[in-house]
Amino acid sequence: DIQMTQSPSSLSASVGDRVTLSCRASQSISTYLNWYQQKPGKAPKVLIYAASSLQSGVPSRFSGSGSGTDFTLTISSLQPEDFATYYCQQSYSTPFFTFGPGTKVDIK
Amino acid sequence: QVQLVQSGAEVKKPGASVRVSCKAFGYTFTDYDMHWVRQAPGQGLEWMGWINPSSGGVNYSEKLQGRVTMTRDTSISAAYMELSSLRSDDTAVYYCGREGSGSYSGAFDIWGQGTVVTVSS
């Protein structure tokens, strides 16, 4: 099974900050990596698919990078609506998918 | 409008079974794989399994194999997830999620609103 880890587990940041979240796979997954944002009481929403492709309608301040085992989600200038939990998910071992444990971004 | 609409909240006793439905609107149901994901209170997302609505083919997580069954009814564009022998740690929000196709393959681009399942004696 492919295991996913995320770091940090939580972080505090201010509006306007540049924020970088990390995700690591237990084996190479090429670019089969997706990022989701989840707000309390809501379903997750896909932000980035295939490691670096921006989902339609998602603000351009979100970007993804990486391949193999190490991936990054960057928010270039944190906005009030970006405070949420972010999950990575591998789709390399389709159809057996795995999510990371999440990174919670809250207000400093 | 493309959307997935799930059935309402359930309260079940330990040992019982629960069935959650997920109805698809605004797209051809058989063109996209459907996955189920759950989230225990205050916890992360757990992938449960997958169904191919066209063929009915399924795959389940090892953890839930033997207790989970995923089916579909193409006549009404609905997918179902049944979980048996419920335990207190099955208390969670259960989501259905559509897997995108083509470049979006592997990503869940449409999600249901979630169904709260509470297991309590």
> Closest Cα of chain B to A98: distance in Å?
6
CA distances to B56, B58, B85, B110, B118 from A90, rounded to whole Å, are: 23, 19, 29, 17, 28
B100 touches chain A (CB under 8 A): yes
B62 touches chain A (CB under 8 A): yes
Other CB atoms within a 10 A radius of the CB of residue B15 amount to 11
Alpha carbon distance B6, B79 (integer Å):
9
For the cut 90, the answer to whether the pLDDT of residue A108 exceeds it is no
For the cut 90, the answer to whether the pLDDT of residue A92 exceeds it is yes
Q: Is A11 exposed, middle or buried (0-12, 13-18, 19+ CB in 10 A)?
A: middle
State the average pLDDT for chain A: 96
Amino acid of residue B113: Q
Q: Count CB pairs under 8 A between chains A and B.
A: 67
Q: Tokens for A83, please give them.
A: 């405070």
Chain-centre distance for alpha carbon B9: 13
Predicted confidence at residue B105, as pLDDT, reads 82
Query: Average pLDDT, stretch A20-35?
Result: 97
B121 touches chain A (CB under 8 A): no
Amino acid of residue B99: E
Q: What are phi and psi of A26, to 5 degrees?
A: -75, -15
Percentage of chain B lying above the pLDDT 70 cut:
100
